[in-house]
């Protein structure tokens, strides 16, 4: 057999293959259909349950049986996706209107997973059977071959309610995602009816009926004014809060906060995260008034209790919860669904309009099917009524015929050849018979008891009903208003039986503004040990342990509890640290690593000097580097908003050695590794900007560097020990900068 090689661009093949894959995921997997609001896996699961006979009034069936049957017949993509869809459709805390009646452990609102499918059972809900699966036998929707063309499945279920709005949907496709919140069934039906009556209604006018989302978990939507734009464009963000109540603790002056409703986005593991966040708040200074947290939720509903200390402000703690936890959250809306075979972002009007068009299509196909059935019934009933009037002749034809075909041809075409008649008159009468083939078949299959008088009356009564049905169905098919009345009547019936009061409150509330309650500042002592662990203690605690504190810590700094501390490091960076962020406690507490409290870089040794910011803003700082560079900088340059900035410029290989707060006129002594000493006047260090390198203070020999700096201020020691030799620094002559200094003799 000859082979043909087709040459094409690899990029074109990849592009086409990717587009085919993307559209397959979008249309056949991830996005719901606007008509029934279901994804393919949901639709196939419900249809399979219908086929298995798991009706609402029948016994439950094992979930494993349903999943296996669905996978084998309609959805060959693994059992986990099918069972996952089945579980969600049974969870009343996720679905505004559950479609599956689950029996067993189908998970909880707190994130507990459902039991394995071999342990759980399920059946259809009554509303699912009535509003999603009814009339499938009346050719109201198209049936398409399944994946291996051994079965037929509905391309869409004949949903009678706007399920896409009622239950919402979420899914991630290729390059797009859908996120539609659930809504109140009664409100959605009212809006649908209003749009059927007046198709010119705008999105804003429809919102007189659909107030906003109605989440199964309740809660409060706090950006009501933004909903109109969301429903007009199909995209936006809804801000939702949990509901908090204040209760008085019996026989106590204390109060408690009780969370009774949570945001829809907190379903699942979000509740555990919320409890952890509350615990973190209770451990912090901001939420120190929270004394205890307990989750008392049950099947009756959510109840998370936060016990407050005596004198606590419940309103402040409530604001703290909204601001610092997921008790206030956002729900991203993207009303994307498959409409007319392609993905489309839908407005409220467009979504309801698509559903209404689908309802009229279903009704048209249903009543055309019913009309055809009634017309066939009418034909047969007319034939039977005519047959009763000539029943003796018909019996004579049947008795005189050789076979069924001969008798039928006589009844349909009046052919009498070969039939034995008692008289010529009977033959002539038989020749005038002209029944239709359907009438002839019905006559030949008619049972003799139909000749009883009461049966004849029933036949005529049925014929009258058939004529009335034909008139009704014809009117529905030929008049928009008549069909609209039928659809509206159905919708009103669903609303009356299945609608429930709104759960979610819709209102406008300002964003939470948390006024930071500043505790009264008090004197404390900042301690940091040689391992870099920092904490603050009360001054009284420090005084009691002064000797141990001074000997065990590399930094002992007296400051106020609300002070900002400025930390300088060897790579020339400045970190600003709030004293209130440093753990405050007992003297023997370990503290927290200083690098966890600021933007520590692993390349730097995190400590040259620690100073209170209030002490340096109106003074000058002296900088000395190992390379012998010196300068002074106005302290106000270091009062910045950023937590970390460059404090000085350094040459490659140079390190910052000393940062000193200049209280008054002073001299300083530079000591190098090769034991050179140089005493300089403060004025030798020029006043420069913090991003300057400085000037050369001492001339260093090859391989030499500055090791120590001493400042000869009032009260400072003037004698130091170098290599076991005592040196009087104040006896050194003040030299000019840039000199080599005096060599210390051993």
pLDDT score at 732? 87
Query: How far from 588 is each of 173, 556, 560, 585, CA to CA, in Å?
Result: 56, 15, 20, 8
Place of tokens 């020990």: 721
Mark residue 165 as left, alpha or beta (left: phi above 0; alpha: psi -120 to 50; beta: remaining): alpha
Predicted model pTM: 0.72
Handedness of CA 458, 461, 467, 470 (dihedral sign): negative
List Cβ neighbours of 224 (8 Å cut-off, separation of 6 or more): 212, 506, 507, 508
Q: What is the pLDDT of residues 374-401, one digit of tens each?
A: 999 898 888 888 888 788 888 888 888 8
Residue pair 118/64 in contact (Cβ under 8 Å)? The answer is: yes
Same fold, 243-326 and 366-482: no
Residues of the chain with pLDDT below 50 are none
Q: Does domain 38-158 have CATH number 3.40.50.1700?
A: no
pLDDT score at 509? 86
157 phi and psi, to 5 degrees? -85, 145
What does the alpha-carbon distance between residue 438 and residue 600 come to, in Å, rounded to a whole number?
93
What does the alpha-carbon distance between residue 91 and residue 79 come to, in Å, rounded to a whole number?
18
Neighbours of 29 (CB within 10 A): 17
Q: Say how many Å lie between the first and final Cα of the chain, rounded.
A: 103
pLDDT score at 24? 58
Q: What is the pLDDT of residues 273-324, one digit of tens each?
A: 999 999 888 877 778 888 899 999 888 889 999 999 888 889 999 999 999 8
Q: What does DSSP assign to residue 597?
A: T
Instruction: Look at residues 47, 142, 186 and name the one whose alpha carbon lies nearest to residue 358.
Output: 142
Residue pair 103/86 in contact (Cβ under 8 Å)? The answer is: no
Instruction: Look at residues 121, 135, 156, 174 and name the one whose alpha carbon lies nearest to residue 38.
Output: 156
What does the alpha-carbon distance between residue 362 and residue 351 come to, in Å, rounded to a whole number?
17
What does the alpha-carbon distance between residue 536 and residue 524 come to, in Å, rounded to a whole number?
6
In the chain, where the domains are located:
38-158, 243-326, 366-482, 523-743
What does the alpha-carbon distance between residue 616 and residue 662 come to, in Å, rounded to a whole number?
9
388 phi and psi, to 5 degrees? -60, -35
CATH topology of domain 366-482: Topoisomerase; domain 3 (1.10.268)
Top-level class of domain 523-743: mainly beta
What does the alpha-carbon distance between residue 92 and residue 73 come to, in Å, rounded to a whole number?
28
Neighbours of 425 (CB within 10 A): 10
Instruction: Look at residues 328, 314, 327 and name the one whose alpha carbon lies nearest to residue 247.
Output: 314
Active site residues: 119
Instruction: Look at residues 338, 351, 344 and name the one whose alpha carbon lies nearest to residue 195.
Output: 351
Write out the two tokens for 279: 């615990």
Instruction: Look at residues 94, 155, 86, 95 and name the one whose alpha carbon lies nearest to residue 120.
Output: 86
CATH topology of domain 243-326: Gyrase A; domain 2 (3.30.1360)
What does the alpha-carbon distance between residue 673 and residue 346 come to, in Å, rounded to a whole number?
76
188 phi and psi, to 5 degrees? -65, -40
SS3 268: coil
pLDDT score at 21? 59
pLDDT score at 1? 53
What does the alpha-carbon distance between residue 50 and residue 154 come to, in Å, rounded to a whole number?
12
Residue pair 193/491 in contact (Cβ under 8 Å)? The answer is: yes
SS3 60: coil
List Cβ neighbours of 221 (8 Å cut-off, separation of 6 or more): 212, 213, 227, 238, 239, 240, 504, 505, 506, 507
Half-sphere exposure in the Cβ direction for 338 (13 Å, CA): 22
Query: How far from 324 is each of 239, 329, 525, 575, CA to CA, in Å?
Result: 15, 10, 30, 25
């Amino acid at each position: 057999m000859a082979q043909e090689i087709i040459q094409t661009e690899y990029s074109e093949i990849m592009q086409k293959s990717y587009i085919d894959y993307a559209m397959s995921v979008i249309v056949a997997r991830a996005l719901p259909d606007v008509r029934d609001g279901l994804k393919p896996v949901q639709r196939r699961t419900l249809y399979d349950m219908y086929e298995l006979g798991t009706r609402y009034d029948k016994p439950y069936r094992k979930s494993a049986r349903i999943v296996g049957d669905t996978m084998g017949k309609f959805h060959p993509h693994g059992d986990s996706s099918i069972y996952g869809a089945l579980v969600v459709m049974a969870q009343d805390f996720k679905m505004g209107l559950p479609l599956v009646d689950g029996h067993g452990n189908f998970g909880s609102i707190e994130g507990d997973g459902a039991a394995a499918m071999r342990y759980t059972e399920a059946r259809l809900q009554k509303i699912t059977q009535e509003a999603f699966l009814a009339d499938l036998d009346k050719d109201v929707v198209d049936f398409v071959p399944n994946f291996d063309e051994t079965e037929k499945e509905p391309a869409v279920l004949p949903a009678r309610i706007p399920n896409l709005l009622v239950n919402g949907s979420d899914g991630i496709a290729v390059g797009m995602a859908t996120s539609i919140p659930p809504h109140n069934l009664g409100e959605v039906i009212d809006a649908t009816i209003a749009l059927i009556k007046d198709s010119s209604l705008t999105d804003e006018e429809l919102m007189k009926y659909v107030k906003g989302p109605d989440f199964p978990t309740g809660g409060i939507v706090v950006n009501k004014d933004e909903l109109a734009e969301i429903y007009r464009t199909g995209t936006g963000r809804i801000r939702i809060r949990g509901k908090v109540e204040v209760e008085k603790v019996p026989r106590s002056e204390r109060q408690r906060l009780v969370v009774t409703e949570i945001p829809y986005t907190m379903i699942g593991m979000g509740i555990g995260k919320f409890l952890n966040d509350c615990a973190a708040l209770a451990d912090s200074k901001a939420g120190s008034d929270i004394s205890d947290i307990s989750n008392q939720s049950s099947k009756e509903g959510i109840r998370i209790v936060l016990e407050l200390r005596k004198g606590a402000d419940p309103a402040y703690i409530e604001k703290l919860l909204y601001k610092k936890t997921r008790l206030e959250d956002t729900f991203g809306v993207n009303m994307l669904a498959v409409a007319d075979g392609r993905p489309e972002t839908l407005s409220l009007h467009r979504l309801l309009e698509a559903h209404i068009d689908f309802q009229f299509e279903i009704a048209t196909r249903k009543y055309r099917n019913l009309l055809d059935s009634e017309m066939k019934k009418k034909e047969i009933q007319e034939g039977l009524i005519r047959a009763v009037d000539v029943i003796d002749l018909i019996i004579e034809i049947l008795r005189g015929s050789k076979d069924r075909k001969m008798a039928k041809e006589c009844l349909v075409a009046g052919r009498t050849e070969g039939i034995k008649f008692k008289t010529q008159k009977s033959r002539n009468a038989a020749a005038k018979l002209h029944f239709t083939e359907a009438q002839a078949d019905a006559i030949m299959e008619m049972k003799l008891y139909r000749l009883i008088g009461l049966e004849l009356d029933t036949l005529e009564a049925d014929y009258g009903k058939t004529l009335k049905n034909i008139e009704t169905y014809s009117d529905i098919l030929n008049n928009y208003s008549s069909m609209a009345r039928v659809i509206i009547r159905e919708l009103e019936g669903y609303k009356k039986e299945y609608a429930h009061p709104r759960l979610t409150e819709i209102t406008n509330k300002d964003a939470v503004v948390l006024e930071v309650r500043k505790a009264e500042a008090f004197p404390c002592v900042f301690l940091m040990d040689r391992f870099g662990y920092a904490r603050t203690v009360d001054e009284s605690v420090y005084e009691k342990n002064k000797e141990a504190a001074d000997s065990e810590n590399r930094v002992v700094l007296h400051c106020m509890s609300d002070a900002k501390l400025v930390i300088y490091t060897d790579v020339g960076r400045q970190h600003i640290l709030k004293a209130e962020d440093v753990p405050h406690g007992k003297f023997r507490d370990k503290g927290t690593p200083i690098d966890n409290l600021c933007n520590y870089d692993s390349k730097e040794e995190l400590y040259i000097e620690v100073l209170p910011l209030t002490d340096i803003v109106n003074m000058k700082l002296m900088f000395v580097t190992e390379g012998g560079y010196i300068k002074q900088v106005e302290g106000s340059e270091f009062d910045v908003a950023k937590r970390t900035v460059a404090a000085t410029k350094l040459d490659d290989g140079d390190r910052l050695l000393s940062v000193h707060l200049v209280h008054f006129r002073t001299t300083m002594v530079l000591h190098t590794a090769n034991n050179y000493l140089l005493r300089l006047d403060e004025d030798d260090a020029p006043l420069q900007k913090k991003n300057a390198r400085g000037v050369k203070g001492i001339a260093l020999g090859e391989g030499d560097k500055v090791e120590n700096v001493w400042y000869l201020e009032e009260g400072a020691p003037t004698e130091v020990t170098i290599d076991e030799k005592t040196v009087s620094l104040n006896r050194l002559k003040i030299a000019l900068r840039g000199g080599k200094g005096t060599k210390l003799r051993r």
